[in-house]
């Protein structure tokens, strides 16, 4: 049973030496617990925040202890009612091969209904993030022009497609490679997309959104946020989901210089956390599940194999190696 420990708190970009892959005993499940052999592990940008000591919405990872994260696995021992050996469960004890946990911290998932990895992505946490952030926080309505950054990633690719399927007047995305931009337009049905590394975001957004944007779904922050405020239409809404462009900064980044435009536009900017929106989970699965099954909503996963590559997969998310959800397959 191998598991990843955080051994020192990264400063700036995390380094391999900040982590250790440790050999540990397979844990013994206690009363009311199950033993799970993990099959798929999630690596997500928010984990960078938990590697720092600063208190945030999730507690910092403890030094010298195994890290946590979303995972799907097979139950190999059960001392809990309602969960049997052979069941598959979604839980929060990732970054390890085996986990013993209280059954109440596990959610059963159906391996026949959808590929197991999708419970971490398109039908899981990142999917719900897209759904809740777009429909609830940004109060998307038919006819809105929507701009999403990080658009080829797990959350962003779903935001753009949900907006399209729900009648957006225009869907615009930005991503960090020409290959990703091509995918957005040719496969995901975005009306326009640009590579933010090819020139100033404000200029590229102006071209892509000649009539402005009504909704900006922010995954990136920084220059993207300022550019979106600059193109915001009257009554526009900005949902702040994440700001990955600053996660490895050691100094606070300068704020958008044009916030006063929110007055002129009567614009609204609001942050949200997916954890507050799990009441939408049944509605999300009911509405998005069939789109995924029919192929109207497409998704990609970038799958890295082996627990020994879990860390590299995480670094890959920060670098932009992934298209769609980054998954580690054990």
Q: Give 33 or 219: the residue with its C-beta nearer to ligand NDP.
A: 219
Determine which residue in the list 14, 94, 212, 242 makes contact with ligand NDP, applying CB under 6 A: 242
154 binds ligand NDP (CB under 6 A): yes
Cα distance between residue 111 and residue 69, in whole Å:
20
Tell me the number of residues near ligand NDP by CB under 6 A: 28
Nearest distance, CB of residue 17 and ligand NDP, angstroms: 22
What are all long-range contacts of 304-313, with beta carbons under 8 Å and residues at least 24 apart? 304/328, 304/329, 305/329, 305/330, 306/330, 307/2, 307/4, 307/21, 307/41, 307/96, 307/97, 308/2, 308/21, 310/4, 310/41, 310/43, 310/95, 311/4, 311/16, 311/19, 311/21, 313/43
Determine which residue in the list 241, 297, 311, 327 makes contact with ligand NDP, applying CB under 6 A: 241
Taking each continuous run of H as one helix and of E as one strand, the counts in the chain are 9, 15
The site string for ligand NDP over 34-73 (x = CB under 6 A, - otherwise) reads ----------xxx---------------------------
Neighbours of 167 (CB within 10 A): 11
Helices 125-132 and 281-294 pack at an angle, to 10 degrees, of 110
Nearest distance, CB of residue 111 and ligand NDP, angstroms: 23
Footprint of ligand NDP on residues 120-139 (CB under 6 A)?
A: 126, 129
Cα distance between residue 59 and residue 100, in whole Å:
20
Footprint of ligand NDP on residues 167-226 (CB under 6 A)?
A: 175-177, 180, 219-220
Q: Give 67 or 75: the residue with its C-beta nearer to ligand NDP.
A: 67
150 binds ligand NDP (CB under 6 A): yes
322 binds ligand NDP (CB under 6 A): yes
Site of interaction with ligand NDP (CB under 6 A):
44-46, 126, 129, 150, 152-156, 175-177, 180, 219-220, 241-242, 244-245, 272-274, 317-318, 320, 322
């Amino acid at each position: 049973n191998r598991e990843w420990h955080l051994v020192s708190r990264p400063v700036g970009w995390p380094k391999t030496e900040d982590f250790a892959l440790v050999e540990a005993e397979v844990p013994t499940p206690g009363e009311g617990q199950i033993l799970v052999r993990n099959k798929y592990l999630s690596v997500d940008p928010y984990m960078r925040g938990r590697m720092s000591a600063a208190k945030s919405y999730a507690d910092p990872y403890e030094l010298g202890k195994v890290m946590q994260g979303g995972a799907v696995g097979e139950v190999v021992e059960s001392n809990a009612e309602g969960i049997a050996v052979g069941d598959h469960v979604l839980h929060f004890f990732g970054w390890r091969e085996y986990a013993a946990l209280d059954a109440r911290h596990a959610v059963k998932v159906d391996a026949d209904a959808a590929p197991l990895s999708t419970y971490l992505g398109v039908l899981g946490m990142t999917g719900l993030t897209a759904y809740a952030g777009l429909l609830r926080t940004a109060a998307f309505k038919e006819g809105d022009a929507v701009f999403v950054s990080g658009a080829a990633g797990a959350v962003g690719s779903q935001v753009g497609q949900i907006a399209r399927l729900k009648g957006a007047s225009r869907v615009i995305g930005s991503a960090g490679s020409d290959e990703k931009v091509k995918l957005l337009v040719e496969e995901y049905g975005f009306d326009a997309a640009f590579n933010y590394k090819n020139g100033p975001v404000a200029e590229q957004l102006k071209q892509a959104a000649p009539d402005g944007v009504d909704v900006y779904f922010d995954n990136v922050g920084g220059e993207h946020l300022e550019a979106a405020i600059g193109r915001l239409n009257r009554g526009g809404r900005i949902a702040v989901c994440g700001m990955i462009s600053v996660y490895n900064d050691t100094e606070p980044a300068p704020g958008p210089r044009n916030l006063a435009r929110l007055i002129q536009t009567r614009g609204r900017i609001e942050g949200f956390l997916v954890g507050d929106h799990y009441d939408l989970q049944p509605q999300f699965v009911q509405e998005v599940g069939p789109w995924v099954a029919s192929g109207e909503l497409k998704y990609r996963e970038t799958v890295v194999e082996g627990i020994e590559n879990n860390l590299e997969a995480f670094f890959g998310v920060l670098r932009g190696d992934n298209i769609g959800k980054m998954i580690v397959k054990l």
